[in-house]
Amino acid sequence: MNYRYQRRYAGPLQAVIFDWAGTVVDFGSFAPTQVLIDAFAGFGIDISLAEARVPMGLAKWDHIRALGDMPQVSARWQAKFGREMTDRDVDAIYEAFMPLQVAKVGQYSHLIAGALDAIAALRERGLKIGSCTGYPRVVMNALTDIAAERGYAPDCIVATDDLKPGGRPGPWMVLHNVIELGVSDVAASVKVDDTVPGIDEGLAAGMWTVGLSASGNEVGLTAEEWAALTPVAQAIKRAVAEKKLYQAGAHYVIDTIADLLPVIVDIEARIARGERP
C-alpha cells in the first residue's frame, strides 16, 4: 500500500503582502488609471476611466498593451493611424506615461483611512509587512519616499520590473517577498489586493487572499464619493466588486484595509484547524 504524507503548516501567520494603489494608498486607484488616460490622450486617443480600469493590476506596459487590444480602443487607434497598435506604439505610450506617473503619483497616493492602524495591529501580532505593485521601480522610488513621509514603510517592496519573470498574474513578486521576509511557508502569508490579477498572483503562490471592494479599482470612487452614497447604493456597488473578486478565487472580500484584522484572526483559526489556502 502506498502512503502519501501531506505536510500542513500549522503555525501562525508570518506576513501580509499588500498591493499599493487601491489597497494601502490611493482610495479608488486613480493614479494609474487617470495618468494612462492622459498618456493615450497625448496620442490623440480617448480612453474612458472605465476602460482604463479593465486591465488594472497588470504591469503598466502590459496594461497599455491590453488596452490597445480592447476592440473599441483598437478601432479608435486604427481610425486615427490606419493600422493596428504595435508593440513599438506601446513602447511610445509607455515612455510618455512614465514621467507623468512619476510626477503625479504623490498627488493621488494618500493613505487610505485606517491603513496605519491596521498595519500597526499586524505588526503587534508579529507579522511582517510585504508589498508589491504593478508600478515599475522608477515610480516606486518616488512613491516609497512619499509613503514613508506619510507614515507607511513596508518591510519589503517589489516593483513589477524588479524581476525578470514579469509581474502579475504570475506569483513571482509575492514569492520574492516570501524570500526577503524570511517566511517559512507560503501558507503563512496573506496577499491583500483590490484587483483580479492581484488575487490571481496570491493564489498562484499558494497564499491566502483578501480582496478589497470599496477602496479599490472595482468600485473606482474616491473616498468622498463612496461616503456620499446611500447605504443602498454602496451595497449595489459593493456586491458587483465582491462578486468579481470572489469569482477570481479570493478567500475573503472586505471593504477596505481598515477591516482586515478580523480576517487575519479568522485565517489563523482556520490554519489551526488544519486548513490550507
Distance of alpha carbon 246 from alpha carbon 57, whole angstroms: 16
Backbone angles phi, psi at 195, to 5 degrees: -125, 160
Decide: helix, strand or coil at residue 218. coil
| 91: annotated active-site residue | no
Decide: helix, strand or coil at residue 153. coil
Backbone angles phi, psi at 123, to 5 degrees: -65, -35
The residue with cell 507623468 is 100
207: exposed, middle or buried (Cβ count in 10 Å: 0-12, 13-18, 19+)? buried
Instruction: Write down the catalytic residue from 19, 62, 194, 200.
Output: 19
Distance of alpha carbon 90 from alpha carbon 103, whole angstroms: 20
| 19: annotated active-site residue | yes
Q: How many CB atoms lie within 10 A of CB 74?
A: 14
Instruction: Write down the catalytic residue from 60, 128, 191, 244.
Output: 60
From residue 204, alpha-carbon distances to 70, 74, 125, 183 in Å are 25, 31, 26, 17
Residue 246 near residue 211 (C-beta atoms within 8 A): yes
Q: How many CB atoms lie within 10 A of CB 62?
A: 19
Active site residues: 19, 60
